[in-house]
């Protein structure tokens, strides 16, 4: 997730964490999560406030979602991580492997305020930030060339876009999103990805590359790409640089992309871990996530500035989005990757 926590987060949310009881050991909470600018903001702004309010120390371990999930697997007999912040796809794998614990509603009291799209099976983890996988396009280029704004993935197969489309690789979550957008548009699903492959192959004829990084900013900035499948928060972040990019929720609905907060099964400090997850669901933190990184709130009582609300996933859009069945997706991922390599990237 991009720009998830800026320095202003120190002012909200995490201060609501209740201090430990006199009998409780302060301990050292270990949080594994996203790196880059997210880590920097987290360590500078969020963690000190949590440490002060909870009387504990926090160690932050940075890594991608797949890296964090791999650590949880390697440590499953003797976990060293208390809280894992990971995307919903790897989260489903970790949950299915028994690596994550159920959230305790008596401790994570904010669960009742979480939108349906962000409630996970059995409350094993919870979504704390929401964006959408949809379509991104260069408004100026489209207007200059008389191309109508895209409404569906199939519109990226327009021959006028030849060599101007960057598609995400199936190796990242946006690639899965592209496949499922195409599948759903033509009657397919996670269990029937065939229509998705047919749809993506048509768009692939216009693609000049398949990005594996999940960040196609430079392609747009350098003029190589004028359209892609991308995340709404990333589009808005690029738009803040005065770049003429716009995000489209495709007909039939975009695909939700969640950043999830999870208590590790057999965590060394389970009570502190539960408190930390609850803190991330406070309305103040949720509002800051939206204002600083354009990640939509996952709770019903976060208040947003109207200008921010226009640029994040709102309640109505969230209600229209159908989450992916990650159990099915993850089981099929290897076969999909092989087929994608043979039929899409070599087509």
**Residue 157 DSSP one-character state:** G
pLDDT digits (tens, 9 = 90+) for 275-303: 999 988 989 888 888 888 888 999 999 99
Strand pairing of 255-263 and 83-87? Answer: antiparallel
Band the pLDDT of 333: cuts 50, 70, 90.
very high
Both structure tokens of 187: 């009657």
| pLDDT (mean) for 37-51 | 72
Decide whether 7-130+256-320 matches 132-253+324-343 in CATH topology: yes
Domain ranges of the chain: 7-130+256-320, 132-253+324-343
Average pLDDT, the chain: 89
What fold does the segment set 132-253+324-343 form as a domain? D-Maltodextrin-Binding Protein; domain 2 (3.40.190)
Q: What is the pTM of this model?
A: 0.81
Give 330-339's long-range contacts (Cβ < 8 A, gap of 24+). Answer: 330/89, 330/92, 330/93, 330/96, 332/190, 332/193, 333/176, 336/170, 336/176, 336/179, 336/193, 337/170, 337/171, 339/197
| pLDDT (mean) for 318-343 | 92
What is the structure's pLDDT at 61? 94
Architecture of domain 7-130+256-320: 3-Layer(aba) Sandwich (3.40)
pLDDT digits (tens, 9 = 90+) for 151-171: 999 999 999 999 999 999 998
* pLDDT of 78 over the 90 cut: yes
The answer to whether residues 127 and 118 touch, using CB atoms and an 8 Å cutoff, is yes
Cα separation, 248 vs 166, whole angstroms: 16
* pLDDT of 37 over the 90 cut: no
Band the pLDDT of 11: cuts 50, 70, 90.
very low
Q: Per mean pLDDT, which range of 1-10, 48-57, 190-199, 281-290 is the poorest?
A: 1-10
* pLDDT of 126 over the 50 cut: yes
């Amino acid at each position: 997730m991009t720009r998830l926590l800026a320095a202003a987060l120190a002012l909200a949310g995490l201060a609501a964490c209740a201090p430990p009881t006199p009998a409780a050991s302060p301990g050292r909470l270990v949080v594994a999560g996203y790196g880059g600018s997210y880590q920097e903001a987290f360590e500078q702004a969020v963690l000190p406030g949590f440490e002060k309010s909870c009387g504990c120390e926090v160690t932050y371990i940075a890594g991608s979602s797949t890296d964090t999930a791999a650590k949880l697997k390697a440590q499953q007999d003797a976990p060293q991580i208390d809280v894992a912040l990971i995307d919903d796809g790897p989260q489903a794998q970790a949950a299915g492997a028994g690596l994550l614990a159920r959230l305790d509603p008596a401790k994570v009291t904010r669960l009742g305020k979480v939108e349906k799209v962000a409630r996970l099976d059995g409350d094993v983890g919870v979504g704390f930030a929401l964006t959408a996988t949809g379509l991104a396009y260069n408004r100026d280029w489209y207007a200059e060339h008389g191309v109508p704004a895209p409404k569906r993935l199939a519109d990226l197969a327009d021959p006028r876009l030849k060599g101007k489309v960057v598609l995400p690789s199936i190796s990242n979550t946006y690639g899965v999103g592209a496949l499922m957008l195409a599948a759903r548009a033509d009657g397919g699903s996670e269990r029937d990805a065939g229509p998705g492959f047919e749809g993506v192959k048509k768009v692939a004829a216009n693609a000049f590359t398949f990005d594996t990084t999940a960040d196609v900013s430079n392609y747009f900035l350098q003029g190589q790409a004028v359209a892609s499948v991308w995340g709404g928060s990333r589009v808005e972040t690029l738009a803040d640089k005065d770049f003429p990019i716009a995000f489209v929720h495709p007909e039939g609905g975009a695909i939700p992309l969640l950043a999830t907060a999870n208590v590790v099964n057999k965590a060394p400090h389970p009570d502190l871990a539960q408190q930390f997850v609850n803190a991330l669901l406070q309305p103040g933190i949720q509002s800051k996530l939206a204002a600083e990184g354009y990640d939509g709130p996952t709770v019903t009582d976060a208040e947003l500035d109207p200008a921010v609300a226009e640029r994040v996933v709102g309640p109505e859009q969230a209600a229209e989005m159908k989450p992916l069945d990650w159990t099915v997706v993850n089981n099929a991922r290897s076969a999909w990757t092989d087929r994608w390599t043979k039929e899409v990237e070599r087509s």
